[in-house]
């Protein structure tokens, strides 16, 4: 930003304001705002040297004046409000002045905690009155802005570390609300009393706009419950009517009523739910606590919605020829490169999101806004009886997180029918995931089956460990078709198994002649399957169990003294989650009810096993592999300038090769970053040095999985 001085008198309508400028008047411009001036106007300004007030660094503001220098689009201005509200609450006797564009001014006017709204550019006499300034202009493509949500960014800039609420303050113009209420009542009446769903499929850039074809497919799914309306602002409404006609979209187009932002605010207030790609609409809907689905392909929706408790952020899971979603490109003037390669106008990553997923996300968003719902009275693991917070709503289930032990569990619990799972019969989000129940039934002969499963990293890492355990009776809980039992039998164990699926049990018994019984719980086991056992294994079973403590106690009772439990479950803190944070509503993954009814952290698993009575507990994961690393980072091509001024283009594949080579020590030595977490728990004393065995098992499994056996 720079200070510019007028050389002559200027009458100017610019950035939503009328300026009457005299010679010598000085203004503070954001650089990008100055560049918007017509060339003939730029020429009548000259750069002026002026000393700015100091930048605010968290100093006490009692009796002081703080100037927040912003340009702010509508969404940005809304996102500023939690930080502005909190700073004034902290220092009520301060003077808070804010510069803003004329376009965004209406969403800040009337907020009692802002003392003065000033134009951008701001007269320098107003700047000089400030004791401190906060610069929130020229933010895009800076690392701080690009790695924080907008709400968090403004809170950070104003040194606010705790906000009472983190949703925008949205003021509703009562006159406009009354005007639009009549329109919405007519729509409700004509639809037979359906709920009104506001679609905002347009975004400020074409590559972030939802394809109208997807809009049509969503409309067909919701039609029996909702009447959709489209409320685009005047500057957006160029293509709406054409799109509606071409795709036969029946939504009521109310764009003609949208004279300015006040009308969009009123329309969101009068709607029952919102689906949007536009972030301004998102921030309005979040502030008004409307059930909202944010559909986002190019941008990670967590950046714009993570602070909002009534919003489902719906990300794409797209891998294309030139990109992997989210590409994090904020604005383009034309279709993205991936769209051009595919000869499309709209970004292909949107097509990766099935319409039914959007419909199911909408139903989940409605659950998010319910105030009166059943909550757990205590943690099912540690017994904690205080407030247990809601973590997320997904697949029409609520997932809570215990603040004492860290367990996440669904409540009320809805367990999956495993016979339906093995038939691939899902009617919910799970129908869009790669859950492998059906593939487990595609078995080969015993020799090939063993070879196939021994190569899998999560079983391969166990081979060195199993080789060091004295051979005896081994019981595999949730054994499926018996693939691990075949491996254990080959290593010398006498194997038994239990499985809930009749189909899987039949394959294990008829094809492989294994000792397997159909049972859903330990109470269903016949007497000759009740142990005691030297080893019990339970791979990816714990997360499916309604009462995990009873499950672990039963296992403990079935073990001999000196017996060993080997247990695995999906990790909460795998590398991808550590790199990106746990992304809620990851609909393509399957780590949610009714498939998984609990989620385990390392310390939670350790706590549970010790509470049951196990004397030793060793925790580790399968090896960290190159493919796993690249799930957690966005690899981008870049240009490198050499000392002799030559420029080299470094493509994505080259970077991946360099990273993979550089991280070899991490692959061989990482005990906790892989994709499946394991616990080895010992009942009573045991002289096996599991610490060193696990360390070596990870090394051996890494080299075999990445580079092969070396034959």
At residue 576, φ and ψ (nearest 5 deg) are -60, -45
563 within domain boundaries: yes
DSSP assignment, residue 53? P
Res 596: pLDDT:
95
User: What percentage of the chain's residues is helix, strand, coil (to nearest 5)?
Assistant: 40, 20, 40
Q: Let me know whether 82 and 37 are in one domain.
A: no
Average pLDDT over residues 440-463: 92
Kind of pairing between the strands at 559-569 and 226-230 = unpaired
* Over residues 639-648, mean pLDDT: 84
Q: Verify that 609 and 461 share a domain, yes or no.
A: yes
Question: What is the percent of the chain with per-residue pLDDT over 70, rounded to a whole number?
Answer: 99
In a domain, 127, yes or no: yes
In this predicted structure, the answer to whether residue 656 has a pLDDT above a threshold of 70 is yes
Residue 572, C-beta contacts closer than 8 angstroms, at least 6 positions apart: 408, 582, 599, 600, 601
- Whether 533 has a pLDDT exceeding 70, the answer reads yes
pLDDT tier, 236 (very low <50, low <70, confident <90, very high otherwise): low
For residues 6-32, average pLDDT: 93
- Average confidence (pLDDT) over 285-293: 97
Please state, in angstroms and rounded to a whole number, the distance separating the CA atoms of residues 365 and 108.
Answer: 27
Q: Let me know whether 348 and 268 are in one domain.
A: yes
Q: Is 29 helix (H, G, I), strand (E, B) or coil?
A: strand
Is 576 contained in some domain?
Answer: yes
pLDDT band at 576 (very low <50, low <70, confident <90, very high): confident
Cβ-based neighbour number of residue 417 at 10 Å: 12
Q: Poorest-confidence range of 142-151, 550-559, 663-672?
A: 142-151
pLDDT value of residue 238: 56
Residue of higher predicted confidence among 148 and 408: 408
Instruction: Answer for the pair 67, 135: CB distance below 8 angstroms, yes or no.
Output: no
Q: Answer whether residue 483 shows pLDDT above 80.
A: yes
Output the CA–CA distances (angstroms, integers) from residue 407 to 93, 233, 523, in the order listed. 44, 45, 25
Mean per-residue pLDDT for 167-184? 96
CA–CA gap between residue 420 and residue 416 (Å, rounded): 8
Q: What mean pLDDT is reported for the chain?
A: 92
pLDDT at 239: 63
Last residue of a domain, one of 349, 368, 387: 368
Question: How many structural domains does the chain have?
Answer: 4
Higher pLDDT, 659 or 178: 178
Task: Identify the helix (H) or strand (E) that includes residue 559.
Answer: strand 559-569
**Are 463 and 623 in contact, with CB atoms under 8 Å apart?**
no
Please give the pLDDT value at position 604: 97
Residue 72 pLDDT = 83
Residue 389 domain-assigned (yes or no)? no
Q: Give the Cα separation of 612 and 603 in Å (integer).
A: 14
- Are residue 359 and residue 443 in the same domain, yes or no? no
For residues 211 and 342, membership in a common domain is answered with yes
Which of 646 and 55 is assigned the larger pLDDT? 55
| Boundary of a domain, candidates 129, 157, 185 | 157
Query: 150: helix, coil or strand?
Result: helix
SS3 213: helix
Cα dihedral 548→551→552→556 (10° resolution): 170
- Say how many CA atoms lie within 13 Å of 15 toward its Cβ: 23
Residue 379: inside a domain: no
- Residue 45's pLDDT is 94
Handedness of CA 14, 19, 21, 24 (dihedral sign): negative
Kindly provide the b/e burial profile for residues 361-381, where b requires at least 16 CB atoms within 10 angstroms of the residue's own CB. Answer: bbbbbbbbbeeeeeebeebbb
| CA 23 to mean position of chain CA atoms | 53
Residues 201 and 228: beta-carbon distance below 8 Å:
no
The answer on pLDDT for 243 being more than 80 is no
How sure is the predictor about 237, in pLDDT bands with cuts at 50, 70 and 90? low
Contacts 24+ apart (CB under 8 A), 638-645: none
Kindly report the pTM of this predicted structure. 0.91
612 and 467 share one domain: yes
222 and 273 both lie in a single domain: yes
Structural domain span for residue 278: 174-368
In a domain, residue 420? The reply is no
As a whole number of Å, the CA-based R_g of the chain is: 30
Residue 73 predicted with pLDDT over 90? no
230 with 340, same domain? yes
Q: Averaged over 560-575, what is the pLDDT?
A: 94
Nearest CA to 280 out of 77, 111, 425, 582 is that of 77
Residues 346 and 300 in one domain: yes
Q: Within a 13 Å sphere around the CA of 46, how many CA atoms are in the beta-carbon half?
A: 6
**DSSP single-letter state for residue 684:** S
Peptide bond before residue 121 is cis, with ω within 30 degrees of 0: yes
Give the confidence band of 321 by pLDDT, cuts at 50, 70, 90.
confident
Flag whether 632 is in a domain: no
Q: How many CA atoms lie within 13 A of 379 on its CB side?
A: 22
pLDDT for 297-316, tens place per residue?
A: 888 888 889 999 999 999 99
Res. 652: pLDDT tops 90: no
Do 296 and 322 belong together in one domain?
A: yes
Same structural domain, 550 and 698: yes
Is the residue at 35 inside a domain?
yes
pLDDT in tens, 109-134: 999 999 999 999 999 999 999 999 99
Does the structure show a pLDDT above 90 at 499?
yes
* Best mean pLDDT range from 63-77, 407-421, 431-445, 645-659: 63-77
292 or 531: which leads in pLDDT: 292
Query: Exposure of 79 by Cβ count < 10 A (0-12 exposed, 13-18 middle, 19+ buried)?
Result: buried
Question: Cα(179)–Cα(266) distance, rounded to whole angstroms?
Answer: 9
Q: Give residues with Cβ within 8 angstroms of 592, minimum separation 6.
A: 394, 395, 397, 399, 410, 429
Residues 187 and 85 reside in one and the same domain: no
CATH code at position 108: 3.40.50.2000
From CA 124, how far away is CA 520, in angstroms rounded? 75
Which CATH number characterizes residue 461's domain? 3.40.50.150
């Amino acid at each position: 930003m720079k200070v510019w001085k007028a050389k002559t008198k200027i009458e100017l309508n610019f950035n939503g304001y009328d300026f009457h400028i005299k010679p010598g008047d000085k203004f503070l411009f954001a650089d990008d705002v100055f560049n918007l001036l017509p060339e003939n106007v730029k020429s009548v300004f000259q750069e002026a040297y002026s000393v700015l007030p100091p930048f605010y660094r968290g100093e006490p503001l009692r009796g002081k004046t703080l100037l927040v220098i912003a340009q702010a689009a509508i969404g940005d201005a809304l996102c500023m409000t939690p930080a502005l509200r909190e700073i004034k609450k902290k220092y009520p006797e301060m003077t808070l002045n804010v510069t803003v564009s004329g376009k965004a001014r209406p969403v800040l006017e009337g907020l009692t905690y802002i003392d003065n709204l000033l134009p951008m550019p701001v007269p320098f006499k107003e700047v000089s009155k400030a004791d401190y300034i906060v610069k929130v202009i020229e933010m895009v493509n800076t690392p701080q802005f690009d790695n924080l949500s907008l709400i968090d960014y403004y809170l950070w800039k104003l040194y606010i570390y705790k906000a009472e609420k983190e949703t925008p303050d949205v003021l509703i113009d009562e006159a406009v609300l009354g005007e639009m209420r009549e329109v919405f009542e007519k729509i409700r009446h004509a639809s037979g009393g359906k709920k009104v769903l506001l679609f905002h499929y347009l975004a400020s850039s074409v590559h972030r706009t939802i394809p109208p074809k997807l809009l049509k497919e969503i409309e067909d799914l919701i039609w029996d419950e909702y009447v959709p309306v489209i409320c685009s602002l005047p500057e957006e409404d160029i293509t709406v009517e054409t799109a509606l006609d071409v795709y036969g979209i029946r939504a009521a187009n109310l764009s003609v009523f949208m004279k300015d932002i006040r009308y969009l605010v009123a329309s969101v207030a009068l709607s029952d739910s919102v689906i949007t790609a536009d972030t301004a609409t998102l921030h309005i809907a979040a502030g008004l606590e409307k059930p909202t689905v944010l559909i986002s392909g190019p941008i990670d929706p967590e950046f714009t919605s993570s602070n909002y408790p009534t919003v489902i952020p719906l990300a794409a899971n797209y891998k294309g020829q030139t990109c992997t979603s989210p590409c994090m490109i904020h604005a383009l003037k034309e279709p993205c490169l991936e769209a051009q390669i595919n000869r499309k106008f709209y970004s292909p990553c949107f097509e990766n999101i099935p319409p039914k997923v959007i419909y199911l996300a909408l139903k989940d968003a409605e659950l998010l806004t319910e105030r009166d719902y059943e909550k757990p009275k205590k943690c099912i693991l540690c017994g904690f009886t205080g407030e247990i917070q809601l973590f997320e709503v997904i697949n029409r289930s609520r997932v809570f997180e215990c603040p004492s032990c860290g367990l996440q569990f669904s409540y009320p619990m809805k367990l999956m029918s495993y016979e339906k799972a093995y038939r691939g019969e899902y009617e919910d989000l799970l129908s869009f995931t790669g859950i492998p129940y059906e593939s487990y039934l595609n078995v080969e002969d015993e020799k090939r089956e063993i070879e196939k499963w021994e190569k899998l990293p999560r079983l391969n890492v166990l081979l060195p460990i199993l080789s060091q355990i004295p051979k005896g009776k081994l019981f595999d809980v949730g054994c499926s078709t018996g693939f691990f039992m075949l491996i254990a039998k080959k290593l010398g164990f006498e194997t038994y198994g239990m499985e809930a699926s009749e189909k899987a049990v039949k394959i294990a018994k008829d094809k492989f002649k294994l000792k397997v019984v159909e049972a859903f719980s330990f109470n269903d086991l016949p007497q000759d399957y009740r142990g005691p056992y030297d080893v019990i294994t339970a791979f990816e079973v714990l997360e499916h169990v309604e009462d995990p403590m009873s499950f672990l106690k039963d296992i403990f009772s079935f073990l001999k003294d000196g017996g060993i439990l080997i247990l695995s479950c999906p990790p909460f803190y795998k590398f991808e989650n550590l790199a990106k944070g746990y992304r809620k509503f990851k609909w393509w993954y399957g780590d949610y009810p009714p498939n998984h009814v609990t989620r385990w952290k390392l310390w939670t698993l350790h706590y549970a096993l010790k509470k049951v009575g196990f004397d030793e507990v060793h925790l580790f994961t399968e090896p960290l592999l190159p493919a796993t690393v690249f799930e957690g980072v966005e690899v981008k091509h870049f240009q490198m300038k050499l000392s002799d001024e030559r420029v080299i283009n470094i493509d994505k594949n080259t970077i991946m090769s360099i990273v993979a080579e550089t991280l070899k020590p991490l692959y061989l030595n990482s005990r906790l970053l892989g994709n499946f977490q394991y616990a080895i728990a010992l009942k009573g004393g045991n002289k096996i040095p599991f610490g060193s065995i696990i360390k070596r098992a990870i090394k051996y499994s890494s080299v075999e999985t990445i580079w092969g056996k070396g034959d």
